[in-house]
Amino acid sequence: MRTGQALRRPCRLAFWPALALLLTAPLQAADRCSYETVAAGGKRLGEWIDGDNWLRAGARRVTLAAPTRFMPATQMAVGGAPASGTRPATAARPLDIERLPATDPADGSRRDLAFLLQSRLDADALVVLKNGQRVVERYWHGAAPQAPRLLLSGTRPVLSLLGAMMISQGKLAADKSIARPIAPLVDNTALRKLSTRRLLEGEDGYGWGAADIADWQRAGGWTAATGDGVRAWLTRYDTWTALSPNPGLPPAEGRPEDELLAWAIAESAGTGPARLLCEQLLSTMKPEDGALWLNDPAGHPLAAGLALSPRDHAKLGQLLLDTRASGKRGRIPDWLIEALLAPASGPGDPGLAGLPAGSTLRYGFVRLGGKGNRIALIGPYGNSVYVDFDRRLVIALAAAHPESASPLLLASLDALWRAIESGTATERPARR
């Protein structure tokens, strides 16, 4: 009897690991990233929108949600198809934005939040998460919930996340030249003084002329006249000497030096930013929709090329919030989160007029001045994600404002955040 039991024991022990593997295999497969290269769709949309005017006011409401009509891209999906992620639970009492009071920063009058969204922010989508639950999800002007919207310079904070991860993993040297991992630029003496840390922090910028910016945009394929790609353009320039003070928020399409960061990340990781993002961040936050990363004519990812749906943009903010709240740190290094939240020591960035006093630009994010632990990912035209770590509040806005940035636009964003904070203040802020 004992012999029979002893003989059966190994079979019983071998059964459970096999069963566990069988049960977890579908889950592991569901978390895998899939990729597809998407060609540009003719650089036209309708009769009037073409490759030269697709990012101008009047066209953006449509084109920001249809960037592959004008640019090639890498399409990313987690689990092999869009809408495969986990949808946050909807709160029992959703927030009624039509009844929520707000202060109009244009004249200080009391309005409702719906007026602010449409008249001051030109909103297309609003997604609000409170304690991980969705309390607002609204769309206007025919915006499709599942459509990835182009973030343009709002991609820069994501590049910062990827760069910080490469540093923490020992693949990118923070205090070495940004050109070190880039073979065609490694001997460029003008770039030796620009370290990865300085570029990542965003405290230095270059004084590009209008002709340089236009040439760079053509090289990247942002216009109808297709260029040779941004990397070929970067290697043609040996005058990386005009370092200027921090100029504040970047223009809508980003800056040429951001391409250096994207290139260095790709070389250090051995893969492009799109794959790195999907495998190390998107798969963790389990997106609901597909994502895009625009490529230049040579097939390389552009530093301002990420497109996420509004609800997955909100999930990115929730991922940052959860990273700090969790005792077990994820792939995002804790030193980056703490650096983003450290109180400002000076008066703030003059390029952020309209936001609370003391607001500063850090690693492509905005550390908001005033009390509390609050940051924002601010792109052009009002597109943004606000993260309040104390209130566990995330506010994602997709908009098509006529201006890329202005004090009134930034003040309108701040008024939006304050109104929603007030409307969701059902519990006292958590203390750390």
Model pLDDT, residue 249:
62
- Mean of per-residue pLDDT scores for the chain: 85
| pLDDT tens by residue, 400-411 | 999 999 999 999
Beta strands in 39-163 (DSSP E): 44-45, 49-50, 73-78, 101-103, 110-112, 123-130, 133-139, 149-150
Task: Please tell me the distance from the alpha carbon of residue 221 to that of residue 233, in angstroms, as a whole number.
Answer: 12
For residue 103, pLDDT beyond 50:
yes
Provide, for the chain, the percentages of residues in helix, strand and coil under a 3-state DSSP scheme, each rounded to the nearest 5. 40, 20, 40
Identify the band that residue 117 occupies on the pLDDT scale cut at 50, 70 and 90.
Answer: very high
Answer whether residue 49 is part of any domain.
no
Q: What is the 3-state secondary structure (H, E, C) of 258-284?
A: HHHHHHHHHHHHCCCHHHHHHHHHHHH
What percentage of the chain carries pLDDT values higher than 90? Answer: 66
Model pLDDT, residue 255:
87
Q: By C-alpha distance, which of 226, 214, 224 is closest to 296?
A: 226
Answer whether residue 242 is part of any domain.
yes
DSSP string, 325-394: HSSS--SS-HHHHHHHHSPPSSS--GGGBTBPTT-EEETTEEE--SSS-EEEEE-GGG-EEEEETTTTEE
Contact 132, 318 (CB under 8 A): yes
Answer whether residue 76 is part of any domain.
no
Answer whether residue 27 is part of any domain.
no
DSSP string, 404-423: S--HHHHHHHHHHHHHHHHH
* SS3 (DSSP) at 143: coil
Model pLDDT, residue 278:
94
Answer whether residue 319 is part of any domain.
yes
Model pLDDT, residue 30:
45
Give residue 96's domain range: 90-149+156-286+308-423
For residue 21, pLDDT beyond 70:
no
Identify the band that residue 156 occupies on the pLDDT scale cut at 50, 70 and 90.
Answer: very high
Identify the band that residue 344 occupies on the pLDDT scale cut at 50, 70 and 90.
Answer: confident
Measured in residues, the chain has a length of 432
For residue 28, pLDDT beyond 70:
no
Answer whether residue 294 is part of any domain.
no
DSSP string, 96-122: -TTT-EEE-TTT--EEEHHHIIIIIS-
What percentage of the chain carries pLDDT values higher than 70? Answer: 84
Average pLDDT over residues 78-107: 76
The Cα-based distances of 133 to 16, 86, 264, 290, 392 in angstroms read 36, 12, 37, 21, 10
For residue 287, pLDDT beyond 70:
yes
For residue 421, pLDDT beyond 80:
yes
Q: Which residues pair with 75 in a beta bridge?
A: 36, 292
For residue 85, pLDDT beyond 50:
yes
Identify the band that residue 50 occupies on the pLDDT scale cut at 50, 70 and 90.
Answer: very high
For residue 210, pLDDT beyond 90:
no
Identify the band that residue 240 occupies on the pLDDT scale cut at 50, 70 and 90.
Answer: confident
Answer whether residue 94 is part of any domain.
yes
For residue 10, pLDDT beyond 70:
no
Model pLDDT, residue 211:
84
The residue whose two tokens read 């943004």 is: 384
Contact 245, 146 (CB under 8 A): no
Number of domains in the chain: 1
Task: Please tell me the distance from the alpha carbon of residue 273 to that of residue 88, in angstroms, as a whole number.
Answer: 26
What CATH number does residue 201 fall under?
3.40.710.10
For residue 1, pLDDT beyond 50:
no
Identify the band that residue 109 occupies on the pLDDT scale cut at 50, 70 and 90.
Answer: very high
Model pLDDT, residue 432:
38
Average pLDDT over residues 276-291: 92
Model pLDDT, residue 271:
94
The residue whose two tokens read 């820069």 is: 156
For residue 143, pLDDT beyond 50:
yes
Answer whether residue 350 is part of any domain.
yes
| pLDDT tens by residue, 362-402 | 999 999 999 899 999 999 999 999 999 999 999 999 999 99
For residue 55, pLDDT beyond 80:
yes
Q: By C-alpha distance, which of 109, 99, 105, 149 is closest to 127?
A: 149
